[in-house]
């Protein structure tokens, strides 16, 4: 079911071996954000120019429904919680509690206070971003869990104004899915918009008069159009990572259970026909058994068509490697969103991973645990961005602000260094700004 990419016998650059660029071993060409930019540029410009009228047009075109009001009424939020089944509410509450517990620890020791010399002090304050816009996907599936993953870290960071947007649903009269509204209400969020895709990102970035004030940062996962809009509008707003179509990579050896490897690959392909599912293994026998398990598992799922498209795309594959050493080279070069390690001594192998959005260690840590209840974030960088970006966490919502507080004596002690530096940069007014403070005290030699 998955195409096979066989790297065995090919080393990484010995004199007489082919050099493998591991970053390109598994293509990501299926997720063409640049192409989507062509579509979303018009959408974003139009929202900036025509505001709510543009939102109406794009809701009609992309969501096939126009909400009576883009701002979700308070009664709809209340009704969503009232309508929650007990077991679903318990699942939401457990997820919230666990994510909140980890977020509290993520905050960590934020105060930096350094006295460099007597009277020479630099401190660092962590200041929450005042107003943020959080995107919750709702096209192919209503990701209520993404409300938790966005809102909880923003609240723990101390953001004072939090708005959520999610696509309107025809089935629910143009409101976002009730489970999404219920989680918003459980978390005390009352500014919720029935707006999806690129138009939601543009609404947050530019603001829509009479409807939504602009935000300073847009976060959250989404499909290729959401990713493209975030890429386009960063600069007008800050964004978190590009958290686009889901990726799972499993690094496994012959100790792995093929049925579980197959189940985990299938689980993440369920998100999007563009999702990527990749197995990296040094065991051809395991690869064969995973391939044998896949068709039955896919056929048994509700979304088999979407999963089949994802798994037969160029972005999904089995990569056969000589050994786990080469497997780790592939893993670290690819920088997947989710990485499962299903090998003997999985913790030791996991400790050698440098590029992945999140790592899941051993048989009892499947990605779907992290999606909902582990306490970790599920808003994670895709498309190789895990080599430079982090998953959404409390610090994503905080700015570091340095506070400089020097006394007269402490400034005098370094004044000459500043003057010389400024002369070297041909910026004499910079130097004079220091000199000017000591014109009345030639004895200080400044
Ligand atoms: N990386 C992560 O952290 C992470 C987490 C969760 C989900 N995801 C991903 O989020 C995505 C969710 O996608 P989704 O589609 O279900 O929901 P979505 O809410 O992201 O996108 C739906 C919106 O896309 C827009 N759209 C649809 N077709 C369009 C078109 N042809 N042109 C312009 N806009 C269009 C519409 O406005 C619609 O409201 C999946 O790809 C999933 O894998 C990623
Ligand atoms: N696996 C997704 C991140 O790529 C997150 C998610 C939400 N619900 C289910 N899964
Ligand atoms: Zn998932």
Each residue's pLDDT tens digit, 392-431: 999 999 999 999 999 999 999 999 999 999 999 999 999 9
Asked, for residue 68, whether it belongs to a domain, the answer is: yes
State the Cα–Cα distance between residues 216 and 245, nearest whole angstrom.
24
Asked, for residue 257, whether it belongs to a domain, the answer is: yes
Given the residues 270, 337, 340, 419, select the one marked as catalytic.
337
Mean pLDDT of 361-386: 98
Whole-prediction pTM value? Answer: 0.96
Q: Of 24-28, 249-253, 379-383, 425-429, which range is least confident?
A: 24-28
State the Cα–Cα distance between residues 335 and 253, nearest whole angstrom.
19
- Mark whether 233 and 300 lie in a shared domain: no
Q: How far is the CA of 246 from the centre of ligand 2 (A)?
A: 7
Q: Is the minimum distance from the CB of 142 to ligand 1 under 6 angstroms?
A: no
Asked, for residue 388, whether it belongs to a domain, the answer is: no
- Mark whether 161 and 172 lie in a shared domain: yes
- Here the CATH number for the domain that contains residue 51 is 3.40.50.1980
Q: Is 177 noted as a catalytic residue in this protein?
A: no
Mean pLDDT of the chain: 95
Under DSSP, the state recorded for 120 is E
- Mark whether 302 and 369 lie in a shared domain: yes
Q: Of 54-68, 108-122, 150-164, which range is least confident?
A: 108-122
Q: How far is the CA of 444 from the centre of ligand 1 (A)?
A: 64
Quick one: residue 117, left, alpha or beta (phi over 0 = left, psi -120 to 50 = alpha)?
Answer: beta
From residue 413, how far is each of 397, 406, 407, 434, 435 by CA, in Å?
Answer: 37, 10, 10, 11, 12
Residue nearest ligand 1's atom 6 by CA = 221
Predicted confidence at residue 372, as pLDDT, reads: 98
Which numbered ligand comes closest to the C-alpha of 183?
A: 2
Asked, for residue 311, whether it belongs to a domain, the answer is: yes
Q: Are 168 and 65 in contact (CB under 8 A)?
A: yes
> Among residues of the chain, what percentage have pLDDT more than 90?
91
- Domain of residue 261: give its range: 3-19+245-375
Mean pLDDT of 373-393: 97
Asked, for residue 390, whether it belongs to a domain, the answer is: no
Q: Of 40, 91, 30, which Cα lies nearest the Cα of 269?
A: 30
- Mark whether 312 and 416 lie in a shared domain: no
Q: Are 392 and 379 in contact (CB under 8 A)?
A: yes
Q: Is the minimum distance from the CB of 223 to ligand 1 under 6 angstroms?
A: yes
Q: Is the minimum distance from the CB of 143 to ligand 2 under 6 angstroms?
A: yes
- Mark whether 123 and 229 lie in a shared domain: yes
- Mark whether 219 and 277 lie in a shared domain: no
- Mark whether 134 and 151 lie in a shared domain: yes
Asked, for residue 26, whether it belongs to a domain, the answer is: no
- Mark whether 285 and 307 lie in a shared domain: yes
pLDDT above 80 (res 127): yes
Reported as a pLDDT band with limits 50, 70 and 90, residue 18 is low
- Mark whether 156 and 204 lie in a shared domain: yes
pLDDT above 80 (res 20): no
Q: Is the minimum distance from the CB of 141 to ligand 1 under 6 angstroms?
A: yes
pLDDT above 90 (res 234): yes
Predicted confidence at residue 111, as pLDDT, reads: 78
Q: Is 337 noted as a catalytic residue in this protein?
A: yes
Tell which wins on pLDDT, 442 or 418.
418
The domain tally of the chain equals 3
- Mark whether 416 and 314 lie in a shared domain: no
Asked, for residue 217, whether it belongs to a domain, the answer is: yes
pLDDT above 90 (res 73): yes
Mean pLDDT of 316-335: 96
Residue nearest ligand 1's atom 4 by CA = 221
Asked, for residue 292, whether it belongs to a domain, the answer is: yes
Is the ipTM reported for this complex over the cut 0.90? Answer: yes
Predicted confidence at residue 110, as pLDDT, reads: 66
Reported as a pLDDT band with limits 50, 70 and 90, residue 16 is very low
Predicted confidence at residue 31, as pLDDT, reads: 74
Q: Are 226 and 328 in contact (CB under 8 A)?
A: no
Q: How many Cβ atoms from other residues are within 10 Å of residue 104's Cβ?
A: 12
- Mark whether 231 and 292 lie in a shared domain: no
Mean pLDDT of 85-98: 98
- Mark whether 7 and 48 lie in a shared domain: no
Mean pLDDT of 223-231: 97
Q: Are 392 and 150 in contact (CB under 8 A)?
A: yes
Mean pLDDT of 116-140: 97
Residue nearest ligand 1's atom 24 by CA = 197
């Amino acid at each position: 079911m998955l195409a096979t990419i066989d790297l065995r016998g090919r080393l990484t650059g010995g004199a007489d071996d082919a050099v493998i660029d591991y970053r390109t071993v598994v293509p990501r060409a299926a997720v063409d954000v640049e192409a989507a930019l062509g579509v979303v540029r018009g959408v974003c410009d139009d929202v900036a120019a025509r505001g709510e009228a543009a939102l109406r047009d794009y809701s009609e075109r992309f969501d096939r429904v126009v909400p009576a009001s883009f701002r979700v009424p308070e009664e709809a939020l209340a009704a969503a919680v009232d309508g929650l089944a007990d077991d679903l509410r318990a699942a939401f509450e457990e997820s919230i509690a666990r994510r909140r517990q980890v977020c509290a620890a993520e905050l960590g020791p934020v105060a930096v206070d350094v006295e460099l010399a007597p009277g020479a002090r630099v401190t660092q304050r962590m200041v929450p971003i005042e107003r943020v816009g959080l995107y919750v996907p709702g096209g192919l599936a209503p990701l209520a869990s993404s409300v938790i993953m966005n809102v909880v870290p923003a609240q723990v960071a101390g953001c004072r104004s939090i708005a959520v947007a999610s696509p309107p649903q025809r089935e629910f009269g143009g409101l976002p899915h009730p489970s999404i509204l219920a989680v918003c209400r459980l978390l005390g969020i009352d500014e919720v918009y029935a707006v999806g895709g690129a138009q939601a990102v543009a609404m947050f970035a530019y603001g829509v008069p009479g409807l939504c004030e602009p935000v300073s940062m847009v976060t959250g996962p989404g499909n290729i159009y959401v990713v493209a809009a975030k890429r386009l509008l960063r600069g007008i707003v800050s964004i978190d990572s590009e958290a686009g179509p889901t990726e799972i990579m499993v690094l496994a050896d012959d100790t792995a259970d093929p049925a579980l490897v197959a189940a985990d690959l299938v689980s993440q392909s369920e998100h999007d026909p563009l999702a990527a599912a990749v197995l990296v293994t040094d065991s051809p026998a395991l690869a064969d058994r995973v391939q044998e398990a896949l068709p039955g598992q896919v056929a048994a799922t509700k979304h088999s068509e979407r999963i089949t498209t994802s798994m037969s795309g160029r972005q999904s594959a089995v990569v056969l490697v000589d050994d786990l050493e080469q497997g780790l080279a592939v893993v670290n070069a690819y920088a997947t969103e989710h990485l499962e390690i299903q090998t003997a001594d999985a913790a030791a192998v996991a400790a050698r991973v440098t590029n992945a959005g999140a790592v899941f260690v051993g048989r009892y840590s499947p990605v779907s645990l992290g999606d909902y209840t582990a306490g970790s974030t599920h808003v994670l960088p895709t498309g190789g961005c895990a080599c430079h970006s982090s998953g959404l966490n409390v610090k994503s919502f905080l700015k570091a602000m340095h506070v400089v507080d020097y006394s007269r004596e402490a400034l005098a002690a370094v004044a000459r260094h500043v003057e010389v530096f400024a002369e070297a940069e041909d910026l004499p007014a910079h130097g004079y700004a220091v000199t000017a403070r000591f014109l009345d005290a030639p004895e200080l030699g400044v």
